[in-house]
Structure 1
């Protein structure tokens, strides 16, 4: 097997195929589905836009943000997976009916919050304050909607309370991602001179819940601890830092990491996934384990397809790329991890640490 290490310089054109893959998936209205014929959700759509922006495809990324602005609901949320639960126009890939015609659509809090991460990342790349101001009303509406779903215990409900989502519960991975999005939202508010204390307080309570109240998560369904994201995402998001972060990653490293291959999606399957491996690189950076992050990143590139995009994952017992998909968000995750590790852009530090202390610290 050949592993690729870049030092501090990316080879010319290395991600051209990944960028082409995202651009060929992007619709005329800016929407970026998961893959050919796949659904669109605000989180993965934004991740793909961030990948494009990182490599200089600014206009394509801004079309993706315009899509978010155009499809945001009045209360600040979005429908979770456009194209499956929500009726869509085949050509334009956007919602076509009245809201009452949608059969109990899911509105995921984590998905809604991620616009703040995308907006702050984009600002770090180009420093365009006018664009940040354009996005601000949408970021504010989204984050206010998310924070409205926080319980008195600090956890944030996984989705809006609707007939299709009756489970009054919270997800470790989703809440960890929201914690990072709140950090970015607060930075945006501070940059624009807008109030953000209520968001800082919500973030502090959320961090406390994630660290100290495990009983608030997975209360009404099977625990998600067989998924690697529940293991590393609280570190990636900065909920745990320093030795606590290193201890958390060390505790399950041997069961989730396949040496020389990457990070498993679930502990009981011989399947490494590229996006999870890329995200684990970011978690390692946050914990201070740079050498491990560089090593893990070097393993990922063996799962690059001939076209230059990345397979979703690799089933190593059968020695096949599986599923037979090259998602936009997978390519973006690798791009963002590479930037964080080698420092290609001014946005590189965003995912390499927690940059905003909690109010109680």
Structure 2
């Protein structure tokens, strides 16, 4: 029988369903602790962490801890991880800054869930080095280039979704810094600048408006709350939400994806829209496999699942959404972020001008 403290939503997911989904992720985890997208698939730090967070929620905290240990032992000297690894072999040596910021979210989530201060202390050097690496790609105005290549050169463009996720990562990293007694005032300044540019400078980011992630990520990452967040969600709801099925990945193709749907659920929960959030989580359950895993997406124009795989990170997003809506674990509010540091606000006209946005 699953533990009584596992998330459950009446009529949508039972505690035993969550336990089974956690086990479906653990079944893909490699002996090293790495969690690939699916058996034989590649590993990236972001999706690895999302899966680890879900395993911990599903009662598999020890397996999740192994996943973080894999990050700790594979981190490169500059604080980054390769963008893509398969069976221990680096397939893409570049570093995605969003991917490198996300371990802070996972580590803080694990600390909230377990209360394990020894774990926090052990993981702190990893998180500190990762965040310091990410901030090497921050521009003067506040946006952060999405990648740094194998030679250390920033990509030259910033992405709204990635910077929104980094915003959340910085808040979690600062919370962890407070927990271990190592204040990081420089991070507070960087976070404030990033929040400012996310809230007021859409021109700072490469145009990606066809992707649903660019729509809801400023809310999911905590940069927008209150009326601005509610207005942003309302503006493009009809472009991305398909009644009874979930949310589209892109606005011009007839498919819904489980992870984007559940991230939207988390975004809605963060602004108090629990009703629509629960409806969306229920709607995407058509992607659930009997073994508890979740298919990545569904092409509703021809009734086919696409791609033909169950992905660990999709299952992870489902578990995290269920925890948020059910208010079950001690970490259920990590995406609401009400207790996370906000950074140092940009005030008094301190925002830099456009000539500071390019790199020499």
TM, length-normalised to structure 1: 0.89
State the Cα distance separating 1:20 from its structure 2 match. Answer: 2.5
State the Cα distance separating 1:137 from its structure 2 match. Answer: 0.3
> How many equivalent residue pairs?
338
State the Cα distance separating 1:9 from its structure 2 match. Answer: 9.9
Q: Using a 3 Å threshold, how does the CA distance of structure 1 residues 199 and 8 change in structure 2: closer, same or farther?
A: farther
**What is residue 14 of structure 2 aligned with on the other side?**
11
**What is residue 34 of structure 1 aligned with on the other side?**
37
State the Cα distance separating 1:49 from its structure 2 match. Answer: 0.6
- 1:210 counterpart = 2:198: yes
Q: Does the 8 Å contact 2:85/2:91 carry over to 1?
A: no
* Structure 2 Cα separation of the partners of residues 12 and 214 of structure 1: 41
* Structure 1 Cα separation of the partners of residues 277 and 41 of structure 2: 30
* Structure 1 Cα separation of the partners of residues 105 and 144 of structure 2: 17
Which whole-Å deviations, capped at 9, do the CAs of 1:323-359 have from their partners, x for residues lacking one? 1111111101000000000112110011134433343
**What is residue 88 of structure 2 aligned with on the other side?**
94
* Structure 2 Cα separation of the partners of residues 104 and 180 of structure 1: 25
State the Cα distance separating 1:306 from its structure 2 match. Answer: 2.1
- RMSD across aligned C-alpha pairs, in angstroms? 1.9
Bigger shift: residues 116-125 or 55-64: 55-64
Aligned pair partner of 1:176 in 158, 161, 164: 164
State the Cα distance separating 1:217 from its structure 2 match. Answer: 1.0
TM, length-normalised to structure 2: 0.90
State the Cα distance separating 1:135 from its structure 2 match. Answer: 0.2
- 1:20 counterpart = 2:23: yes
* Structure 2 Cα separation of the partners of residues 103 and 68 of structure 1: 17
- What 5-or-longer segments of structure 1 have no aligned partner? 84-92, 96-101
* Structure 2 Cα separation of the partners of residues 82 and 283 of structure 1: 29
**What is residue 56 of structure 1 aligned with on the other side?**
59
Q: Using a 3 Å threshold, how does the CA distance of structure 1 residues 249 and 103 change in structure 2: closer, same or farther?
A: closer
1:116-127 to 2 correspondences below 5 Å: 116-127=104-115
**What is residue 70 of structure 2 aligned with on the other side?**
67
Q: Using a 3 Å threshold, how does the CA distance of structure 1 residues 215 and 124 change in structure 2: closer, same or farther?
A: same
Aligned pair partner of 2:121 in 121, 133, 144: 133
* Structure 1 Cα separation of the partners of residues 338 and 171 of structure 2: 8
Which whole-Å deviations, capped at 9, do the CAs of 1:98-124 have from their partners, x for residues lacking one? xxxx78721111111111000000001
3-state SS of the aligned residue for 1:349? coil
**What is residue 254 of structure 1 aligned with on the other side?**
238
* Structure 1 Cα separation of the partners of residues 136 and 178 of structure 2: 21
State the Cα distance separating 1:167 from its structure 2 match. Answer: 3.4
Q: Does the 8 Å contact 1:340/1:348 carry over to 2?
A: yes
